[in-house]
Amino acid sequence: MVGTILYVVNVDRENGRGRGVLWAHLLAYLVGSTLVGGLLGAVGALLTPQAATPTRTLAVLGATGVAALLYGLGELSLLRVPTPRVRRQVPSGLRLTMRRRKLMAVVYGFELGVGFTTYVTATTFYVVALWIVLAGSPLLGVLTMMGFGLGRAVPMLMLSRYRGDTAWRSRLIEGLEGWTPLVHLANGLILGFCGASFLVAGLITR
Amino acid sequence: MSSLVTEQRGVVLPGRRRRLALFATFALMGGSAAYLMPSAVAWEQAAAGVTLLAVVAGLSALWSP
C-alpha cells in the first residue's frame, strides 16, 4: 500500500511540481475517517439508549473492554478471534487509468481513511469502531476517528519528505515488513492495557 | 523459541508464554490505573483511551500490504 501511495503523492513533486497532491491525499484521510466516525456514532445513537445510567456505562465500557482484551490476545497470536477484516486493498491499477492525479490521491486517501473497505493491519481499528457505536455520539465518533486519520496521515507526511526513487520505495517496503510482528505486539499490549482499564472503569462506576 | 530471536531479516515475537506474561502485565497496569482513577471520569478516561487506540490503529496502517 505504502509504495503505491508514496508514488502517487510524490510523482508530481519529483517532476518539480507542487505538493498539492500530497496535501489533498492527507486531507482525504481525515475526511474519510471523520465521516465514518460520525456515521458510526449516528447509527449508535439510533440503536442504543442515551440515558447515562450506571448500567449503560457498565455495558458500554464492559463490552469495549472485553472486545479490546480478546483482540489484544488475537494480535499476540494467543487466541483466534473472528474479525470483520476484508482482504481488499486500494486498487493500484487506478494510477494507470485515472488521469487526474489529485483526484486519484483523494480517492485513495478517502477509502483508506474510511478503513472498512480495505485491509487494516491491526484489529485495534474494530475496537474503536465498536466503542463509537456503543457510545452513540456522532461528535465523539468524529473526534475519535480523527485520531485514526491523523495516525494514517502523519507517517505518510514524514515519508514524503524524502525524495526517494522506486528502489528506495522497494527498500522501504521490505524494511517495514520486517517490523510487522512488533506492530502486532505493540497493538496487543496497548489493547490489553486499555481493555482492562475500560472493564475496571465500567465495573467500579456506580 | 522463548526469547526475542532474530531471523535472517526482521523481528520475531517472543515465545507464547512471554507474550502472555507481557499481556497480563499490561492488562494489570491498565486495570490498576482505572481503579485508582475517580469513577466520575470513567467516560472521559475511556474516550481518551479509545482515541489513543485510534491513533495506534492509524499508525499501524503503514504496515498494510
Q: Cα–Cα distance between B59 and A155 in angstroms, integer?
A: 7
Element containing residue B39 per DSSP (H, E): none
Asked whether residue B8 is assigned to any structural domain, the reply reads no
- Output the 3-class SS for A149-186: HHHHHHHHHHHCCCCCCHHHHHHHHHHHHHCHHHHHHH
Q: How far is A194 from chain B (nearest CA, A)?
A: 6
Domain extent for B27: 16-63
Q: Where are the domains of chain A?
A: 2-204
Asked whether residue B4 is assigned to any structural domain, the reply reads no
Band (B42; pLDDT cuts 50, 70, 90): confident
Band (A196; pLDDT cuts 50, 70, 90): very high
pLDDT single digits (tens) A47-62: 987 777 878 889 999 9
CB contact under 8 A, A195 and B27: yes
Within an 8 Å CB–CB cutoff, is residue A112 touching chain B?
A: yes
Residue B3 scores a pLDDT above 50: no
The chain A residue lying nearest B14, using CA atoms, is A185
Q: How far is B51 from chain A (nearest CA, A)?
A: 5
Asked whether residue B10 is assigned to any structural domain, the reply reads no
In chain B, the number of structural domains is: 1
Interface of A with B in 55-84 (CB under 8 A): 57, 60-61, 64, 68-69, 72-73, 76-78
Asked whether residue B46 is assigned to any structural domain, the reply reads yes
Q: Cα–Cα distance between B12 and B10 in angstroms, integer?
A: 7
CB contact under 8 A, B33 and A197: yes
